[in-house]
Chains A and B, each alone.
Chain A
């Protein structure tokens, strides 16, 4: 006698309990606090805020804790929460020229107004495991405060080039003041997408995917040799214009990373030779992401600049349709869900085709 598999409900319940137990780990070990995560795993928090499209350190920390450190799962938790939040409207554009800088570097000029500010970077550390960190409770070294404050006026590097007309002007999006900026969380993605939607997509896109695509441009797939004109990391004010007031009020500040690249451009039938721009911006401290994003943004401008399109990174539909790791992980992982019915249909087909082939073969052999 056969009894059909039952008990999905019980199994799910037990799996959830097991998951909770594993999440906590050995109860003899002190539990992680959200504060520990926001303070000591700040890059993880930045990534979850950037790809989750929600600037909230504590929620990001909670998601990281709940996801057991699986950042894509944490991003998913944030996205699912974010979508339920009411919208009051869209903020005024942030002004990164007025950023309170933690870091500002340019690879194109040795020195420049405002100077190079290294900030808290891994760049010149030697990647040697620091065993002293394994011993807990050591007091961390404190950075010395600079004698001079950062210049009030730190001009954008690309604007310095712009004065000479060597670089294209930064073109505002097609939308004017009165029309709203594109938002792919409210409108389904359509092609061709405007640059606003493209940049939103890349800012939310998976860091690994954007990184690899950006890398591909450096290895000859849509080469657009890029210089980092400027990287800025720091806090900017967020302003909002409430309808009833009619003027902007500051509602807080956020940490962002920004990268502007200066790219070679030989000129085309449409445009004379000049430097062109790529742009990357994301929540939090995520320099790798914004550099890669700027490379991909530039590659995606192929149509606009009349460049030949030959590489995946230039293909807007390909890039924008596959950059979202929540969509990707869902669809890739969904193949573990039951597909008995489809598989049964394929089994039936293969058996029938094989039987047919065997029959034909036998008839042929008999005829010989």
Chain B
């Protein structure tokens, strides 16, 4: 007879044995920066593709004293970020926050917060396809060999072909990096805008790919270089206008469609960063104050 009662789950859902297995993989990952460590990824109560790798890494490192922040697309309020935060609230009861500086542990999908991370913080990335060479070579048996032999020519050929075809490197997110002068690594599908933040970051960066069963890491203060060419140096995206809510010119902006007549505006993708700037008195073309001001001018 099956047990239909609500089972009480362990702290952070995973059993301690599984956590130890993940921690061993994490230690190996930290010891070999950028190297993909296979681990016995578990089936989680969320679907693959929803961040099961990041969730397992977070579950393995989180303690009762941690303060957790979860973002998706830079925002704390996207549905999946809410769902993952609720999951950890339920299973660990830890304090959660939207404030980047206050968090000891940040789980992210697709962004690195705009506020620089500091010593002692941990950033956990959700990774869909951990293999940077996957779209050049679909076979795992081959790509593992290529990493072992440091055979990264194919990647440079790909970037070079971009340039000859488009006059520019046409990779805009999941832009490959070289970690500590050895392994080429996929930074997860963060925009290349965020790549420079990874270099010499004081925080520990951990990457979890659940479906592909891989963990990798960048220890604090590690050199992370985006691949490029001398005559085509790596550049990041720029916008022609500042954030419409906080006036920031140095952040990654999301495009918001306002109507069906081509009306649009750009706002910070990092929702907490934008909000705190507004609270500090910064404003943009669409912020309440600016609108009031422009009305007053018109009147």
Contact = CB atoms under 8 A, between A and B. Distances in A.
Nearest to A6: B77
Interface residues on B, range: 35 or more
A363 interface: no
A199 to B, nearest CB: 19
Contact of B286 (A1, A56, A353): A1
Nearest to A329: B47
Interface in A303-349: 317, 321, 326-327, 329-335, 337-342, 344-349
Given A330-B211, A340-B254, A356-B167, A4 B267 contact: yes
A151 B267 CA distance: 77
Given A80-B45, A83-B43, A341 B9 contact: no
B167 A84 contact: no
Interface string A159-176: 000000000000000000
A4 B286 CA distance: 11
Contacts of A8: 77-79, 81-82
Contact of A341 (B38, B82, B254, B267): B254
A243 interface: no
Interface stretch (B59-67, B187-195, B225-233): B187-195
B255 A342 contact: no
B141 A341 contact: no
Contact of A334 (B82, B128, B265): B128
Contact of B141 (A56, A79, A82, A317): A317
Interface in B162-207: 166-168, 170, 172-174, 189-193
Interface in B1-31: 1-2, 4, 7, 9, 15
B173 A345 contact: yes
Interface of B: 1-2, 4, 7, 9, 15, 38-45, 47-50, 52, 72-74, 77-83, 86, 110-111, 128, 139-141, 166-168, 170, 172-174, 189-193, 211, 213-214, 237, 239, 244-245, 252-256, 258, 265, 267, 269, 271, 274, 286-288, 291
Interface of A: 1-2, 4-9, 11-12, 56, 58-59, 62, 76, 79-80, 82-84, 86, 185-192, 317, 321, 326-327, 329-335, 337-342, 344-349, 352-353, 356
28 contacts: A1-B291, A2-B245, A2-B258, A2-B267, A4-B274, A9-B82, A12-B82, A58-B1, A83-B42, A83-B44, A185-B43, A187-B40, A188-B213, A188-B214, A321-B140, A326-B43, A327-B211, A330-B52, A330-B211, A331-B128, A331-B211, A332-B49, A338-B73, A339-B73, A341-B110, A341-B173, A344-B191, A344-B255
